[in-house]
Amino acid sequence: MAVVTQREFGLFIDGEAVEPASGEVRELTEPATGAPLAKAAMAGEADVDRAIEAARAALEGLWGKTPPNERSRLLHALADAIVANRKELTELETRNVGKAVSSVKGEVAVSAENFRWYASAIASIAGRTTPIGGSILAYTLKEPVGVAAQIVPWNYPIMMAAWKLAPALAAGCTVVLKPDPATPLTVLRLAELAAEVGIPAGVVNIVPGDGPTTGSYLVRHPGVDKVAFTGSTATGSEIMRLCAEPVKRLSLELGGKSPNLVFADANLADAVPSSVYAIYYAAGQSCDARSRVLVERSLYDEFVNSFSETAARMKVGDPLDAETQMGSLISQAHRDKVHGLVETGRKEGAEVVTGGEPTDGDGAFYPPTVLAGVENRMAVAQEEIFGPVVTVIPFEDEAEAVRIANDVKYGLTATVWTSDPGRGHRLARQIKSGVIGINLPNTAFPGLPFGGYKQSGFGREGSLETIEMYLETKTIFVSTGGKPVNPWGL
Ligand code: NAD
């Protein structure tokens, strides 16, 4: 693979890369090796002010006047540009996040698909007329909500940015997006590509920076009409508080502790490798990771053995090697946090069947780890570990499986493995999650809603429901003749 030349990234405001008024530039390193990767500017308050000003001007100017078919054409063009630059984007993302290139390749492709899907979905934005009798015509208009502030985490930088930007642009909004300060690179390249394909200046602005300072300032800014956040439940809760007083529109995609239910009648040849994939993809740093595997007691020992053997055989290592299945974690600090939780699990009485110790060396590697003998009340079964750690919990029957599945504060995704179709559909209704797979580990596909129940957030990504979050609905009553009616007969 070609080596990405080290470069310095500015902020992206009003159609171009700019120096930060904050004066802050950070050296970013590759988590898998510790080697320097790039320098990236960080936005301060004055930079956020400037970005919001540019977004407002674009909304009230050229973008506000751009008709839907032209917005659609531009989103298709951006999808084409992502595909044309996929090698560079894939390498940049892989080096920046440390995830396996085989995964990142798919995420870049999905990012392009996402723009394409919303380019087509623009055609569905429409109001309606409702007959109400008399001489009144009543209809609704859909209008962009305005300037959207979008905040995304470090685990899927380009894909999360694509998930957020595409529906906002489809709806006619303009955006100020804050990536995580550790992973802004592909998001900044995406903004450059947006400008290159002709998306007007000010429509897409990127302001990397720290959450509690730059992110919080962006959320609180009176120039922002809507906030869309993806990240942890704790931060989402704080952002909800900030949005409460000004009654800002808000959508939240938060954490998960998703269950993966394996019944004794499941096809294990599918269930075992898919369950391994569903937790260790992206080294477990996924909101939708199936981190709690619930197994019917009669199958428990056989499943734990088979799952652990498969996990231990995974190819962990150089993220840029096409054969690698799991790369590094995002940082040494995050690895320490993950290991701390594994230690907590040990103290709570969980058995470490495989993994459980950080890998030596400069990279932030942690092996696929299986904790067996876990009870659902333990911290390792309740807290989002956000690393390559699975907890395996036995259940006696269907009722207990559902009770354990629902006994967490989260409700993002779930999978049920069974050869009984009736049971699959029955559990899909009983499990409180936004996404359920029956005999499948998959979670998201452009066009289908992705999002959470309970403390996994509200709002949906990836679908028509998402465009709706960036629209206001206005109702218009028109007199088509006759005297306007009022109860006073005036
Ligand atoms: P995080 O909440 O710490 O940070 C997410 C983003 O919010 C970052 O850009 C950060 O800089 C910013 N931020 C932090 N504090 C802020 C504040 N006070 N005000 C404004 N912005 C602030 O989360 P993280 O640890 O970076 O990401 C992992 C979390 O994201 C996990 O909980 C994961 O489940 C969740 N996630 C959810 C989804 C989903 O779609 N549901 C997808 C990916 C990740």
Alpha carbons 326 and 314: distance in angstroms, whole number: 7
Residue 238: alpha-carbon gap to chain centroid: 18
Nearest CA to 346 out of 312, 372, 385 is that of: 372
Mean pLDDT of 195-219: 98
Q: Average per-residue pLDDT in the chain?
A: 97
CATH class label, 259-438: alpha beta
69-108: burial string, b at 16+ Cβ within 10 Å, e else: eebbbbbbbbbebbbebbeebbbbbbbbbbbbbbbbbebb
Indicate the top mutation candidate among 155, 177, 253, 413 to test ligand 1's pocket, ranked by most ligand atoms within 8 A of CB.
155
In the chain, pLDDT over 90 holds for what percent of residues? 95
Give the residue extent of every domain in the chain. 8-254, 259-438
**What angle in degrees, to the nearest 10, is found between the helix axes of 86-97 and 157-171?**
120
pLDDT number for residue 4: 44
Residues with CB under 6 A from ligand 1: 151-155, 178, 180, 210-212, 215-216, 219, 230-232, 235, 238-239, 253-256, 287, 384, 386, 412, 452, 457
pLDDT number for residue 2: 40
Does residue 486 surpass a pLDDT of 90?
Answer: no
For the domain 8-254, what is the CATH superfamily, name and number?
Aldehyde Dehydrogenase; Chain A, domain 1 (3.40.605.10)
pLDDT bucket at 134, cuts 50 / 70 / 90:
confident
Half-sphere exposure of 328 (CA within 13 A, CB side): 29
pLDDT number for residue 25: 97
Alpha carbons 226 and 218: distance in angstroms, whole number: 11
Task: Tell me the pLDDT tens digit for each residue of 72-84.
Answer: 999 999 999 999 9
pLDDT number for residue 3: 41
DSSP string, 409-450: SEESEEEEE-S-HHHHHHHHHHS--SEEEES------TTS-B
Compute the CA torsion angle 97, 224, 72, 10 (nearest 10 deg): -40
pLDDT number for residue 1: 40
CA distance to 20, 220, 227, 237, 403, per residue, from 251 (Å): 28, 15, 7, 11, 28
pLDDT number for residue 6: 60
Query: How close is the Cα of 488 to the center of ligand 1, in Å?
Result: 55
Task: Tell me the pLDDT tens digit for each residue of 26-79.
Answer: 999 999 999 999 999 999 999 999 999 999 999 999 999 999 999 999 999 999
Task: Tell me the pLDDT tens digit for each residue of 280-294.
Answer: 999 999 999 999 999
pLDDT number for residue 483: 79
